[in-house]
Structure 1
């Protein structure tokens, strides 16, 4: 299979050359452009998420041999969550080689966090299918780099941290309210408000409810602390 110059360059950026390049092409194919003869990357994403999890769990155990499960779990979650996968995808400019349908391209799909995170997991699975666990592990450890050693000991996501803040002060858990939704169905924009029992509130806007909730929680935490 002959690869385009941009996909060859992408292989250089991730530091791995595929024996079966069709696996890489599939990993980069979004559902918006898939067909009966061109499968999308969803199954590879499913597998890549598991491979990434095993590599990260092993790496964290090696990095801190004295850490408890309670200390390791938030660090693990911080390293494997979609936001981190998307950050790594941006680092290697994965968006430039994503295969998308016209509607996704017009709505900024090459920059969307969910699409980038999913495709990064699919690429991991493609390496695993192409050459096995050790090859996938090498790619992951290289791309995640210093994130593993520098991940904060208290690496909870903002929503979890805000809920624990409220519980420690005997308040009810924060509530999240959709303030508005705009944009077309294929590219919605949500504004979410997070509110504490005492009425303290912050809002944030993002391309998904989850991202907006996390951003609102982060803003409120910053204000409180």
Structure 2
């Protein structure tokens, strides 16, 4: 069936590079960027882990905790982190889940048998403070993730929650946003005193000061 948007992210217990965790307790009241990679000591994965570490301040500013996973064990993860830090000129501090028995990868359907029976594809789950899955993305093993897009969708989700708006195609923070059709004009006048542009009755655009307002 898969892990679907809007559902509660499955809880689990696991060993990680920073010690054992129970996922929901570890997440606490923060957002989570939970992502899988095929294997330690592989080139694409090394760049992705490094990029996540390099963006630590960006994730923290959004109250997002990164959490990696592969089907390797903790000892392999810890050895590999040294390579990540060396080759990507960073310091990786977020936990990486060890899943050698594939239990969590199967729970989150990160194993796609046509790709591999034992290694996870590049799955992404953005999970909110209520433990709800808000976004999923899946990349093939040979294609590294676009981290600008990962930060953008987190900004879009958080802006939507704060301001009751939707975001158009190619939206970036600071751009026009959409007033959902479910909000009638009378209510919109209170929510959006700055006004809006009506392109069609179902398409109203406005501007908010920033994604974090």
Q: TM-score, normalised by structure 2?
A: 0.27
Q: TM-score, normalised by structure 1?
A: 0.26
Q: Which has the higher helix share?
A: 1
